[in-house]
Structure formats: structure tokens, C-alpha cells
Chain A
């Protein structure tokens, strides 16, 4: 009798549990539509969508190098396995051609696809939940008028239980804050516009905020610096490693042009971001800069002094580098020609005393850049630097990095550099093979007014 009651209780508990999981995890499919005719969308709305897609940096993940625009397939390595980006062209079979606008809005806000399956949070809906219905409508119009591409998404490489999309429902319970952006009445309209973009569509925190063990952004460390594709996304708050403190003006120039003489050049995944930001309305980039300058905060008097000292150091006529050790000799022949030329960016190199990369606690970005160089963007006034992967061994690059750190930064020496260089050599090759790279050059202003 008692035994039966226990068994019954267990069964009841399991049923309730299953029903609970089902209620939390189950999402209905939204009816498929016949693919919309491109002509059915308003041209102004499409143009707005194009700018928003650039702010959202959609192409970085959804376009492969040498691949068709938005056809997906980019492998995104995560600590949990590899996730492949999806095809967001309006192809009826393999893209989102049969998604209604309601289905698109739901995907952006709740991370659920048209069929009702949970999407992995590599798609940053934890930010996109802040995007307004109007902006989603414009994005939908833009994507639905792109060239449809027949490209089947690759299967994710995840192990059980993470390959079960139900698990994502639990993740959402824990980490998805389903709030739309609420303007702060105490701040200016520009600040609020910037906050709306940064926290929402631009999803800056997705790279610049460190993540917890379950892959969610740590809310206690917002903008404290994160990792992406073996690059360090620098801290963009008060902990910024930049020798010279950032202000709104410098941020605007950097985000718009891709470089700033007091800070250096946007590289790695950030190169694609600034490339995209070069084609959006200047007012939106100003807004982002205004908000981010506030996030960086007003520098302390001490921090200001350090910045001024770094600027003074950079302006000095360089003394001939004493040739002690291989690092110094490599620097003199391979680097100084540009980095001590006094020529303005982007063709001259940034003074390394001002470089965030050299002063960062993390040497990976410097290793990546020395190995791969900086490829100029076609038709654009953009920085250029040869890569040294073919001429320098890991040990030689390590010697160079050690020298640069001691000569151009007041920060403590890096450790384990040779291993980091070897790892950078391995991953950098993979990254260069798959990433679309910086493009969409601002030198193509003729495109700006086109839908």
C-alpha cells in the first residue's frame, strides 16, 4: 500500500516535472508563409534595415569568407562545441524565406526559430531582446530582399545533453532578461540612443563582457573584456588598458574610421565592426561613442597624467634603439620603419607607446597581428602592415613581443609568450581561412543611399 503510494507519487512528480519542462521549453511553430516578393517591401524601410544590419554586425557571423552574403556556415567555436551560423537569406528551402515577420520578431526577441526550436545563444538574442519592433521590421525587410542562397546549415558539433535544444530553454530561464530597452530620462537623447544600440542590436557586450561557466555574460563584470576567436576583446570600461583614456571624440573617430592616432587600429573581429560602422548614419556612431564614453567613465587625475605621459613619449624624436638582444634587432629592422616614421595613420604605424595592444594584460592580439599583419581593405584608406609568420619563428616573435612590452609599456612583463605565439599561429590560420574579413569599405559612398 505504502509502496504503491510512493510509486504513484514518483510518477506524479515525474509527470508534473515533464509538464513543467514542456511548458517552459515548448514553443509553437509559426505558420510558414509563401516567400514575399522583394517589391512588396518599402525602399526606405529596406535602406533602414541595411543600416541596422550593419550596426548589428550580422554579416560577420552569417557570411563566410568568399561565401554568399548571409548564407551562414561560419563555425563559431565555443567552450561547449562548435556552432555553425545559419542561412538568413530569403531562400525558401534552406534560409528564412518562409518566415513571417512575426516569426522573425520572435527569433530576435526570444531566440526561437519559426518551427519553434530554441536557438543557441551564440545568436545574441540576450541583446536583441532590446531591439524595437520597428527596427526588427526594417531588418526583416532588408533580409527578405537579399539574394536567396541555397545553402543548408551545417550540423552543430555539440555533445549530449547540449545537443538537445530543450536545454537552451533552461539557459533562457536563468539568463535571458526579456526586457525592452527603457530610456533613462536623466540622460540626453543621444546617450539614450547610444545605450539602446550598444545594449541591443550592436551587442557590444557579447564580445567585451566576460562569460560565466554556462556561457552567459557576467552581469557583475559588464564590458570588463572578453574573448573572441583567440583575440582579446579589450575591457571598454574603467579597466581599459589603453595608455591614453578614451573620450567620445576619439571613440567616434575610431569606430568610424577604424583607427585613431592616440590608440591604434581596430583589428581581428573588431575590424569587421568598424568596417560596418563606416556605412551607417554618423549620428548613430556619435550616439554609440557618447554612451560608451560614459561607460569608460571620467578618467582619474592619475590616469589622465599617465595618458599625457604616453602622448609625450610618443611625440619624442625616437632615440636610435640600442641593439641589445634579438628582440631589439628585429624591432629595428621590421617595425621601426613604420612605427617610428612619424607618418600619420593609417599608412604610418601607431606609436607603440600608445598602443592598447602592447599595454594589454593579454599578449594574444599583438601575437596575432605580428603573425598575420594588417591587410588593407580594397579601395579604402586603411591601415596596412606585412605579416611575419613566414619569416619569424615562435621564439623570435616571443623575443620581439617581450622587447616591445618592456620598451613601450609600463605594465609587467608577459609570461608564457612562446606558447601563446604558437597557439596564435595555429588559430590565426583557421580564423583567416573562414572569416569574411573587413570589407564593405567606406570608400564606397555611392552605395550609402541605395536600398
Chain B
């Protein structure tokens, strides 16, 4: 049994220490935003934020998460109250099939928390480990810039963001 902190809540998890975080999130906690893509840390679709940093949850065993804060896309915003990063991706229609997008948003969120106004180059470099096979890359790029602008405006500094800090 270990305590896993996800989106501000403590969960008691009964799993082996070598269980990948992704399995616990999806199977035990039913948080299905993070996706199983390759299972090898090569596609980025399982990305979540751990203590402010983007982490590939499929190759992150529970043993590494003692005392750490995990944030998934569900922790950023809701359908009724989407977080700036989610709103920006919707407004730019950055998802086609959408499978990679939750991971993209999580790494973009971590980037924006670190660098509020990233350049094109910084966004490209940061998202380079993420694969998108539909080819919405240019929209994703625009969405991250839009999210940066949204986060900058006073009206959108909602409570939803706090859990990701």
C-alpha cells in the first residue's frame, strides 16, 4: 500500500512498486486522459506532470512517486471550466484524432509554467518527443501560443490551474 497524490487528492494504492504510473492512473483511478501509446517512453501520449515537470507515466514506476504531486489533464480543468491550455487547444482545433493531445497539453502546460512566453523554437524543442500522426503540428504550435496569452490575462487565472503548480 502506498499513498499517491493525484490532482490534489491522496489515494491509497495497492500495487507493486514497479507498476507504471500510467496503469494506476487508468486502471485504478479511472483517469483516462493519459494514453497508452507505445509503452516505451517514445511517443509522449502518456505524459503527466510530476512536481511541475513533464514525465512519461508509462516508464515511471510507483516507487519513484513517494511524496510527489501528480497532475493529469483532469486536474487542470473540467468540461464546464476548461483550463487555459485546454481552451486554447479547443479554440485552435488542435486535435484531430486526439490521442496524442492530452500528452501534448501536459508537456505544454509544464513548459508554460516554466517559461510563460515561449518562442516557436522553445515549443518545438519541448514537444519534440511527442508524436502526432494526424499532423496537426501547426495548430498545436498556435494553441500553445494562445494558451500563453490566455494565461496572461486576468480573467483566466482560475483555481483549476493551482493543482498543477
* Chain A residues packing against B (C-beta within 8 Å): 66, 323, 326, 328-330, 332-334, 337-338, 375, 384-386, 388, 390-392, 396
Contacts and interface: CB of A to CB of B under 8 A. Distances in A.
B55 A330 contact: no
Contacts of B64: 330, 391-392, 396
A390 B19 contact: no
10 contacts: A323-B17, A329-B17, A329-B18, A333-B59, A333-B61, A386-B41, A386-B56, A390-B50, A390-B53, A396-B63
A330 B61 contact: yes
Interface in B75-125: 121
Given A333-B18, A386-B42, A391 B63 contact: no
B10 interface: no
A384 B131 CA distance: 13
Contacts of B40: 337-338, 386
Interface string B120-157: 01000000110000000000000000000000000000
B28 interface: no
A334 B60 CA distance: 6
A391 B42 contact: no
Given A329-B61, A330-B61, A386 B54 contact: no
Contacts of A384: 42
A396 B121 CA distance: 32
B55 A333 contact: no
Contacts of A323: 16-18
A333 B20 contact: yes
A97 B17 CA distance: 61
Interface residues of B, number: 23
A260 to B, nearest CB: 21
- Closest 7 interchain pairs by CB? A333-B61, A386-B41, A329-B18, A390-B53, A332-B18, A329-B17, A329-B63
Nearest to B61: A333
Contacts of B16: 323, 329
A388 B58 CA distance: 12
Nearest to A327: B63
B61 A334 contact: yes
A353 B128 CA distance: 31
Contacts of A392: 64
Contacts of B63: 326, 329-330, 333, 396
A139 B39 CA distance: 46
A391 B39 contact: no
A345 B63 CA distance: 29
Contacts of A391: 50, 53, 55-56, 59-60, 64
B21 to A, nearest CB: 9
B88 to A, nearest CB: 23
Nearest to B125: A66
Interface in B18-59: 18-20, 39-42, 50, 53-56, 59
Contacts of B61: 329-330, 332-334
Contacts of A338: 40
Contacts of B60: 333-334, 391
A436 to B, nearest CB: 14
Given A337-B41, A386-B41, A392-B64, 18 more contacts: A329-B17, A329-B61, A329-B62, A329-B63, A333-B19, A333-B59, A333-B61, A333-B63, A334-B41, A334-B59, A334-B60, A334-B61, A338-B40, A386-B56, A388-B59, A390-B53, A391-B50, A391-B59
B78 to A, nearest CB: 26
Nearest to B59: A334
Contacts of B42: 384, 386
Contacts of A388: 59
A124 B39 CA distance: 44
B137 to A, nearest CB: 14
Contacts of B20: 333
Contacts of A329: 16-18, 61-63
B35 to A, nearest CB: 16
A212 to B, nearest CB: 40
Contacts of B41: 334, 337, 385-386
A386 B53 contact: no
Contacts of B55: 390-391
Given A329-B17, A334-B60, A390 B39 contact: no
Nearest to A399: B63
A379 to B, nearest CB: 13
A390 B17 contact: no
A332 B61 CA distance: 8
A208 B96 CA distance: 50
Contacts of B39: 337
A330 B40 CA distance: 14
Contacts of A390: 50, 53-55
A333 B21 CA distance: 9
B68 to A, nearest CB: 9
A329 B61 CA distance: 7
Contact of B18 (A66, A328, A375, A386): A328
Contacts of A333: 18-20, 59-61, 63
Given A326-B63, A337-B40, A386 B129 contact: yes
Contacts of B59: 333-334, 337, 386, 388, 391
A334 B50 CA distance: 16
A343 to B, nearest CB: 10
A328 B63 CA distance: 10
Nearest to B39: A337
Could you say which of B19, B39, B42 has the most chain A C-beta atoms within 10 Å of its C-beta?
A: B42
